[in-house]
Amino acid sequence: MKTNYLKSKFYIWRKQTRIYLAQYPRIFFPLRLLLYGFVHERLIAKDTEIVIEGFPSSANSFAVKAFEMSQPHQVKIAHHLHDPAAIIAAAKSGIPCILLIRDPEDAIMSYLIRFISQGETNLNNSINIISNQLNKYIDFYSSLIPYQKEIIVADFSEVISDFGQIITKLNHKFGTNFQEFIHNESNVDKCFKLIEKYNSQAFGKGKVVEKSVARPSEYRKKLKQQLSIEFKSSEIQNLGDCAYEVYNCFQTEKSSEKLAENIR
């Protein structure tokens, strides 16, 4: 019990420290590079041209690959850190930024199913696992509510249906000239193939791993149905309601600093 308590306190302290330091990019950028140099190509830094970030399983891979394949040259993108501090640092530095967001249940179910499929967790104590992810979702997005005006917020449904329009909004807001993604069946198929290629190289030794690949999978739909029942349990209803309150704040595009303060 004491170990879990200390881990919880450390997690809170670490999160608050990152968010605080993100408000001071001159300190934040070099410190992140020093601590996480092994993923330096994904980190936000002085030469970052765009930040594409969101909670896990919020179309992060699709958005990054769709953006990359649309550009005539390589663009320095900060992505896949799943850290709100990266968004805050971008907002403070004026770096073009797309914040990805997805319905809490869909995002959390999709994320957990990928780990269950990989054998890294199981359905035992699923209520506790879901509760933990709900807290992380709330922490992630509530800390970003005050920065909505400095970034582009892109819902999962928009990303997978018309990502080109999101790039148009980004160009209009930041005065950039990024090429739009032509959202048609052919390009979407190419994007998924790029995701599959990465998945096979990173996890499958040359073969696509259906259990974890970051695109739609029939295999995972069955697991989602089972977990969805647990998600609606009365034991975590309050957490679920809070997560949806945060999510809806971004949907309505209203400033909700009061909500953020109440959640913290």
Could you report the per-residue pLDDT of 67-116, keeping only the tens digit for each? Answer: 999 999 999 999 998 888 889 989 999 999 999 999 999 999 888 887 66
SS3 256: coil
Give one DSSP letter per residue of 122-179, joined into a string.
-STTHHHHHHHHHHHHHHHHHTTGGGGGGSEEEEHHHHHHHHHHHHHHHHHHHT--PP
Task: For residue 206, give the amino acid letter.
Answer: G
Write the pLDDT tens digit of every residue in 109-139.
888 887 665 555 555 677 888 998 999 999 9
Q: Please answer whether residues 111 and 56 qualify as being in contact, where contact means their C-beta atoms are separated by less than 8 angstroms.
A: yes
pTM value? Answer: 0.82
3-state helix, strand, coil in the chain (%, to 5): 65, 5, 30
Average pLDDT estimate for 35-56: 81
Tell me which fold the domain 2-263 belongs to. Rossmann fold (3.40.50)
Q: What are the structural domain ranges in the chain?
A: 2-263
Instruction: Indicate if the pLDDT at residue 195 is higher than 80.
Output: yes
Name the token pair of 74. 């390589």
